[in-house]
Amino acid sequence: MKALTEYKIKNMVLKNRIVMPPMCMYSSDERGFVKDFHKIHYTSRAIGGVGLIIVEATGVVPNGRITSRDLGIWSDDHIEGLKSLVESVKAYGSKIAIQLAHAGRKCTSNDEYIVAPSPLRFSEEYRVPRELTVEEIKGLVKSFRDAALRAYKAGFDAIEIHGAHGYLIHEFLSPLTNKRTDEYGGSLENRTRFLKEILLAVKEVWPKDKPILLRVSADDYMEGGINKEEMVKIINEVKEYIDMVHVSTGGLISVRFPIFPGYQISHSETIKRECNIPTIAVGLINELDQIEEILYNNRADLVAIGRGLLRDPHFVLNMAYKNRLKMKYPTQYERGYY
């Protein structure tokens, strides 16, 4: 079974192809520090056999958090807690990454103001964001760079830049939310400039032998927005600066779209094929047969299980047991599987 085979990307060797994607836990405090819950939550999934764990969206600045209870990485004071989390997860055989994020106009923290490429609010329930100046954009690029350096000091095996789900980078990428007329708006090259500058800055401080992942929403599900074909062009603009694409869809605007098991896999397949870059597929994937179909048909290199891992920390162990697959079980739990 391919799901339980090793996978290597740069110097990171995963014991299997199963990924826990970033999912907000809303369990920090106003200062963004790691709490006991985070250690228990992520370490339990490492004990449960997950190959790669990606820590939830972590704010590179205070008003870049999705909520006031999200993790932060805007201060050196955050390093100690993140390092303890990394050490705990690694002790049980999983690799660990962190998602560096800025929520843009979807920030609901208690900070004084929020920002976006253009002053367009997400919905009536959200505040109107302040349009970023070029000087502020340059400052945020530095914030991502500084966050990557802190992630390195904390010992993470990889980082993921959050360019999906309607948050700040996605807002720059999509014509639906980027109405700028300067060098950061208009053409695809200009709309991609902010992301490219972030990646270039991150690479200044992130080790060459550790992977950089990019999370994207490959479809806005609205005319005039990003679709698969447009996302292929965007990835081709930046693929020399990244190692893998984590492919999602939606989140930019409030719009209904069809959701079904594996509904985003075709987007991963297209990007993997057209951009010649490794991908992670995600989206209501719950069964071994689904995972094997994705991997054997080369539609993705890794498969992320979100809701399934929320319900069951031992998703991987139980999948192996249910399907009589050989794998190394934690010594403490062996009696439950033989």
Q: According to the model, what pLDDT value does residue 79 have?
A: 98
- The C-alpha atoms of residue 42 and residue 56 are separated, in whole angstroms, by 10
pLDDT at 334: 87
Q: How many CB atoms lie within 10 A of CB 233?
A: 14
Look at residues 2, 57, 51 and name the one whose alpha carbon lies nearest to residue 25: 57
Residue 176's Cβ-side half-sphere holds a number of Cα atoms within 13 Å equal to 23
Range of the domain at 83: 2-336
DSSP class per residue in 310-333: HH-TTHHHHHHHHTT---PPPGGG
Mapped onto helix, strand or coil, the DSSP state of residue 218 is coil
Kindly give, in sequence order, each residue whose CB lies less than 8 Å from that of residue 157, ignoring residues fewer than 6 positions away: 12, 52, 90, 95, 96, 97, 210, 211
| Residue 313 pLDDT | 97
**Do 267 and 218 contact (CB within 8 A), yes or no?**
yes
At 213, give phi and psi (nearest 5°). -105, 155
Yes or no: say if 73 and 147 are a contact pair by the CB < 8 Å rule.
Answer: yes
At 256 the pLDDT is 87
pLDDT mean across residues, the chain: 96
Residue 317: band (very low, low, confident or very high) from pLDDT cuts 50, 70, 90: very high
Opening angle at CA 227, ends 268 and 245, nearest 5: 30
Contact criterion met (CB below 8 Å) for 184 and 137: yes
129-175 confidence digits (pLDDT tens): 999 999 999 999 999 999 999 999 999 999 999 999 999 999 999 99
Res. 336 pLDDT band, cuts 50 70 90: confident
Q: Decide if pLDDT at 338 tops 80.
A: no
Give yes or no for residue 193 having a pLDDT over 90: yes
Rounded CA separation 288/300 (Å): 14
Residue 189 binned pLDDT confidence (cut-offs 50, 70, 90): very high
pTM listed for this prediction: 0.96
Query: Residue 185: its pLDDT value, please?
Result: 97
User: Is 250 in contact with 221 (CB distance < 8 Å)?
Assistant: yes
pLDDT at 293: 97
Give the model's pLDDT for residue 44: 97
Q: Is 187 exposed, middle or buried (0-12, 13-18, 19+ CB in 10 A)?
A: exposed
What's CA 119's distance to the chain center, in Å? 25
Overall number of domains in the chain: 1
CATH number assigned to the domain comprising residue 231: 3.20.20.70
Query: What confidence score (pLDDT) does residue 258 get?
Result: 84
Residue type, position 204, single letter: E
As a whole number of angstroms, the distance between CA 263 and CA 246 comes to 14
pLDDT, one tens digit per residue, over 225-279 is 999 999 999 999 999 999 999 999 999 998 888 889 899 999 999 999 999 999 9
- Helix segments in 257-327, DSSP class H: 265-275, 288-296, 307-311, 315-322
The average pLDDT across 8-35 equals: 97
- Sorting pLDDT into bands at 50, 70 and 90, what band is 328? confident
The pLDDT of residue 186 = 97
Residue with tokens 């300067």: 182
73-101 pLDDT per residue, tens: 999 999 999 999 999 999 999 999 999 99
What are residue 245's DSSP bridge partners? 214, 279
55 in Cβ contact with 22 (< 8 Å): yes
pLDDT tier, 3 (very low <50, low <70, confident <90, very high otherwise): very high
Nearest one of 305, 231, 306 to 268, comparing CA atoms: 231
pLDDT of residue 233: 98
